[in-house]
Amino acid sequence: MGASFEVHVTAGTREEAERICTAAVNDRVAACAQIIGPISSLYRWEGKVEKSEEFLVLLKTGEHRLDELVSLVKDTHSYETPEIVAVPIEGGLPDYLNWIAAETAEQPFRPAS
């Protein structure tokens, strides 16, 4: 099992967040996804401070699929510069981390019963 990551992405609408999540899980570049929000975001853009309502997406993936996940988000996102932050998962329930690896494998792995 390789390293696992939680990838944070913000989206401008719930529909966009759901589209990103569905594509990532369907393409097996993420094992699962959660949508939180709406949230309030404050940021500097083109020289001024902006405030907007966004939705936070949390995606779990393996190191072997991280680049593909980043590409998928960039290709499907409406923002010019979307927030895509990958945070290494330093610990957790081994069975859960194994599940992330299995669900993001090129060919699905199913443990023997």
Per-residue model confidence (pLDDT) at position 107: 66
Q: Where are the domains of the chain?
A: 4-104
What is residue 113's predicted lDDT score, i.e. its pLDDT?
A: 53
Q: What is the pLDDT of residue 111?
A: 57
Judge whether 77 and 54 are in contact, CB under 8 Å. Answer: no
Positions of the chain with pLDDT lower than 70, given as ranges: 1, 107-113
Please give the C-alpha separations between residue 34 and each of 23, 59, 112, in angstroms, as whole numbers. 13, 7, 28
Between the two ends of the chain, the Cα-to-Cα distance in Å is 19
Token code pair at residue 105: 């494998």
Contact indicator for 60, 6 with CB cutoff of 8 Å: yes
Query: What's 4-104's CATH class?
Result: alpha beta
The SS3 of residue 47 is coil
